[in-house]
Amino acid sequence: EDEDAGGAGRADASGATAASALSRMWALVANDRWVIFAGFASLICAALAEIAIPHLLAASIFSAQNGGAVFYRNAKLLVVLCMISGVFSGVRSCCFGIANMILVKRMREMLFDSILSQDIAFFDEETVGDLTSRLGSDCQQVSRVIGNDLNLISRNLLQGIGALIYLLILSWPLGLCTMLTCGTLSTIMLVHGRYQKKASKFAQEFTASANNVAQEAISLVRTVRVYGTEKQEFKRQSLYPFVSLI
């Protein structure tokens, strides 16, 4: 029954959707939600400023020939928008960075508490290297969702929608061509994302296996020195992760 329950748990974990993963991460940072809200507010302000900059830049170039009040007004607005974009981009990066640190801290605390509450049989099946790798590199890898992925996806999505609306107003044939190009690129990136997901999972498993071998060799370093098997341990640390993953 325990094996069936464990298999069901692994199946549920492997079948977790992006929405469920985001909801779990949101539960970890919900107490400091003001950081996320401030980050998204800064993201919206910076994106709107960056969308308006090309229009004002073109207007400034065309009005530079005539000079006068129109050129100076466009130039002042362009400088103000550049300053707004720079300030809010910095605030956005700072807020998402803080949220990233909060997520890593609480995720490691929850995982460590879950590991300590497991039965003794769990520690007979799992190695110390695997568990320390989950606490270290895997938690850091997951934290990139807020600090990097969610930040870039939201910014690019908002800027893309704004630029597309601007192109459709300016010239609808140009907007349709842009939509077709974006659709093709999205399909390519979707295929690449699936490959990257498999590669990332393989890299995490490889790191866990290599960490396990290093943990065993360092903990038994006196025995290794007595028998002079440093080179064998080095080869084992290099080859064992590949063998264990096949």
Beta-carbon contacts of 212 under 8 Å, excluding residues fewer than 6 positions away, are 127, 128, 129, 130, 133
At 33, is the pLDDT very low, low, confident or very high (cuts 50, 70, 90)? Answer: confident
Amino acid at 135: L
Indicate if 21 and 139 belong to the same structural domain. Answer: yes
User: What pLDDT is stored for residue 156 in this prediction?
Assistant: 83
Question: Is residue 162 packed enough to be buried (19+ CB in 10 Å), middle (13-18) or exposed (0-12)?
Answer: middle
Indicate if 126 and 5 belong to the same structural domain. Answer: yes
**For residue range 121-161, what is the model confidence (pLDDT) as tens digits?**
887 777 777 777 777 777 777 766 666 777 888 888 888 88
Summary mean pLDDT of the chain: 77
**For residue range 93-116, what is the model confidence (pLDDT) as tens digits?**
888 888 888 888 888 888 888 888
- Measured between alpha carbons, how far is 101 from 146 in angstroms, rounded to an integer? 10
CATH number at residue 75: 1.20.1560.10
- Measured between alpha carbons, how far is 25 from 54 in angstroms, rounded to an integer? 36
User: What pLDDT is stored for residue 3 in this prediction?
Assistant: 41
Q: Does position 224 have pLDDT exceeding 90, yes or no? A: no
Last residue of a domain, one of 170, 194, 211: 170
Indicate if 121 and 13 belong to the same structural domain. Answer: yes
Structural domain that includes position 69? 1-170
Indicate if 123 and 235 belong to the same structural domain. Answer: no
Do residues 129 and 213 make contact, with C-beta atoms less than 8 angstroms apart?
A: yes
User: What pLDDT is stored for residue 201 in this prediction?
Assistant: 75
Indicate if 132 and 200 belong to the same structural domain. Answer: no
Indicate if 145 and 232 belong to the same structural domain. Answer: no
Indicate if 161 and 178 belong to the same structural domain. Answer: no
**For residue range 45-78, what is the model confidence (pLDDT) as tens digits?**
998 888 888 888 888 887 777 767 777 888 888 8
Give the total number of structural domains in the chain.
2
